[in-house]
Structure 1
């Protein structure tokens, strides 16, 4: 079961331990999903903040998905 994180700083720390990061964009909103060894963490934010959070990540896998591709 995924866990939603509300604090940006807490999610930024979790991103460092992530093995896979997905960014799902829908309009001006985005959901960043970080898969760690134990759990999947999600963070809801704006598209600009999502880009800033994931910029410069050293993750083995990263995906950017628009909501249109999901359907």
Structure 2
């Protein structure tokens, strides 16, 4: 991220919040798995203020047990 003002703890907390939202959204959609989850971080700063944007994309699916073939 180059010369950022955010420390690793801030980014870790942002990712934790994001993951809880991803889990909740997947559950609302009836999914129990998120495939190919991609997390992106962006920093916006100006006038001695800055913020980090954290976003995620992935595919939600519902996976059940696979029956054994006999």
Q: For the superposition of Structure 1 and Structure 2, which TM-score range results when normalised by the shorter chain?
A: under 0.3
Bigger radius of gyration among the two: 2
Return the TM-score normalized by structure 2: 0.22
Return the TM-score normalized by structure 1: 0.22
| Bigger relative contact order, structure 1 or 2 (CA pairs below 8 A, ≥6 apart) | 1
